[in-house]
């Protein structure tokens, strides 16, 4: 059963923390993006994380429905079925649920898992993210506490964020946020640990200057040492066992040396979206530009069905995404480390 059980997902995170590697977490929106991710993980012999954002869920539900929770359920069910054909483990996660979307995205997905469990099936998702970074830390932790308790009852891990990831994603624009908010403080990390410890397992997206989107070299000023200092503040006060499972948001375009540095500070998951969007689109654009007269009916001609058949170019997009995700597995040192069949 390649979609991890709660026990298997916990073992995945433990193995990454102990082994000094992290899992690529890719946002998917369709069957081709799911298939590209699964193929990449399998060929890399790497376990991985497939995630759905609110915008991705809305897109997957169709322009006539626009229901972010329904679309997320459709994509997750597809992963459950397709992943059965692969000898690696994948976990299902939801990305960046802001406070305004808790009732129409996160709560319906928790209800869907509750219904599956009542029917004797496994969880729909392994973990969910609540992004309360727009709130004060006190209010963020209040909501996070309530959600973590509910998640823990269902053996679901909650990811939380304190500090702000810059840039824009799914219509949520933080480009105007004050610079100091892009960096989580050691005091913030201690507060998060002390507030949530003991309620259930959680992952923490601490921010260290990371941003969503793609930028030219030098435009983004990462400070990975923030993760080191924050972990040190937590473990100095509460012991080595208090080291948190950290998440690196905005991993697209990050230099390899900075990615690898974060692995030593407790990062066990890195989100990749912008780079995989481009990797999917690039070969499709190449196909269209090279076959212009075939994909269009020009000057009264009939075009070429073998060229404009969507399956032709979507397969190329799937492979482009697959290749980029294989690079991510290598960058994060997860390749060859699947725990499939051992837990």
Is residue 208 within 8 A of residue 227, CB to CB? The reply is yes
Averaged confidence pLDDT in the chain: 92
Is residue 1 within 8 A of residue 336, CB to CB? The reply is no
Residue 317's Cβ-count burial label (10 Å; 0-12, 13-18, 19+) is buried
> How distant, in Å, are the alpha carbons of 106, 283, 312 from that of 192?
21, 43, 48
Q: What is the dihedral of CA 317, 318, 321, 326, to 10 degrees?
A: -140
Q: What per-residue string of b and e applies to 206-218 under the rule 16 or more CB within 10 Å gives b?
A: bbbbbbbbbeeee
The per-residue pLDDT for 252 is 77
d(CA 254, CA 41): 20
d(CA 240, CA 335): 27
The per-residue pLDDT for 220 is 54
Read off the DSSP letter of residue 106.
I
For tokens 């219904």, name the residue.
115
Length of the chain: 343
Q: What's the sign of the alpha-carbon dihedral 103, 106, 112, 118?
A: negative
pTM (2 d.p.): 0.92
16 contact partners, CB below 8 Å, separation of at least 6: 22, 23, 268, 269, 334
Sorted by where each starts, the structural domains of the chain and their CATH numbers stand as: 6-331 (3.20.20.70)
- For residue 111, give the H/E element and its range: helix 107-118
The per-residue pLDDT for 171 is 52
Q: Crossing angle, helix 310-331 and helix 274-290, to 10 degrees? A: 140
DSSP bridge pairs for 245:
203
Q: What's the sign of the alpha-carbon dihedral 121, 62, 27, 88?
A: positive
d(CA 22, CA 153): 26
> How distant, in Å, are the alpha carbons of 241, 253, 292, 313, 320 from that of 281?
43, 16, 16, 10, 8
d(CA 50, CA 282): 21
Is residue 200 within 8 A of residue 149, CB to CB? The reply is yes
**Residue 230 CA, distance from chain mean position:** 22
Cα distance from N-terminal residue to C-terminal residue, the chain: 11
- Residue range 236-279, pLDDT digits in tens: 999 999 999 999 998 777 889 999 999 999 999 999 999 999 99
- Residue 193's pLDDT band, with cuts at 50, 70 and 90, is very high
Among 11-25, 213-227, 277-291, whose mean pLDDT is lowest?
A: 213-227
- Residue 168's pLDDT band, with cuts at 50, 70 and 90, is very low
The per-residue pLDDT for 254 is 85
pLDDT at residue 167 tops 70: no
Name which residue leads in pLDDT, 210 or 312: 312
Among 156-165, 189-198, 326-335, whose mean pLDDT is lowest?
A: 156-165
Name which residue leads in pLDDT, 177 or 263: 263
d(CA 73, CA 81): 12
- Residue range 281-323, pLDDT digits in tens: 999 999 999 999 999 999 999 999 999 999 999 999 999 999 9
Q: Crossing angle, helix 31-44 and helix 68-82, to 10 degrees? A: 40
The per-residue pLDDT for 178 is 43
For tokens 């869907």, name the residue.
112
State the average pLDDT over residues 16-38.
98
pLDDT at residue 175 tops 50: no
- Give the residue numbers marked as catalytic: 95
pLDDT at residue 109 tops 80: yes
Residue 239's Cβ-count burial label (10 Å; 0-12, 13-18, 19+) is exposed
| β 172-173/168-169 pair status | antiparallel
pLDDT at residue 210 tops 70: no
- Residue 181's pLDDT band, with cuts at 50, 70 and 90, is low
């Amino acid at each position: 059963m390649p979609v991890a059980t709660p026990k298997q997902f916990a073992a995945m995170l433990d193995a990454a923390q102990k082994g000094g590697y992290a899992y690529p977490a890719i946002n998917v929106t369709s069957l081709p993006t799911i298939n590209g991710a699964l193929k990449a993980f399998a060929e890399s012999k790497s376990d991985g994380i497939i995630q759905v954002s609110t915008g991705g869920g809305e897109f997957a539900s169709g322009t006539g429905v626009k229901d972010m929770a329904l679309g997320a359920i459709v994509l997750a069910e597809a992963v459950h079925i397709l992943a059965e054909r692969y000898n690696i483990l994948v976990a299902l996660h939801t990305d960046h649920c802001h406070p305004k979307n808790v009732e129409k995205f996160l709560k319906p997905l928790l209800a869907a898992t509750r219904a599956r469990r009542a029917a004797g099936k496994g969880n729909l998702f392994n973990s969910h993210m609540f992004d309360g970074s727009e709130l004060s830390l006190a209010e963020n932790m209040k909501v996070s506490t309530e959600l973590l308790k509910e998640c823990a009852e269902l053996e679901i891990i909650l990811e939380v964020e304190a500090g702000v990831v810059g840039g824009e994603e799914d219509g949520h624009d933080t480009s105007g946020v004050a610079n100091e908010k892009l960096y989580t403080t050691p005091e913030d990390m201690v507060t998060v640990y002390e507030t949530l410890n003991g309620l259930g397992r959680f992952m923490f997206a601490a921010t260290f200057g990371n941003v969503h989107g793609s930028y030219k070299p030098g435009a983004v000023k990462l400070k990975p040492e923030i993760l080191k200092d924050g972990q040190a503040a937590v473990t100095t006060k509460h012991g080595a066992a208090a080291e948190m499972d950290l998440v690196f948001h905005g991993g697209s375009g990050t230099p390899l040396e900075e990615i690898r540095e974060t692995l030593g500070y407790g990062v066990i998951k890195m989100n990749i979206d912008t780079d995989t969007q481009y990797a999917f689109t690039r070969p499709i654009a190449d196909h269209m530009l090279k076959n212009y007269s075939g994909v269009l009916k020009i000057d009264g001609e009939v075009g070429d069905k073998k060229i404009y058949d969507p399956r032709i170019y979507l397969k190329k997009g799937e492979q482009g995404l697959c290749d980029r995700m294989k690079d991510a597995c290598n960058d994060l040192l997860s390749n060859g480390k699947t725990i499939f069949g051992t837990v």
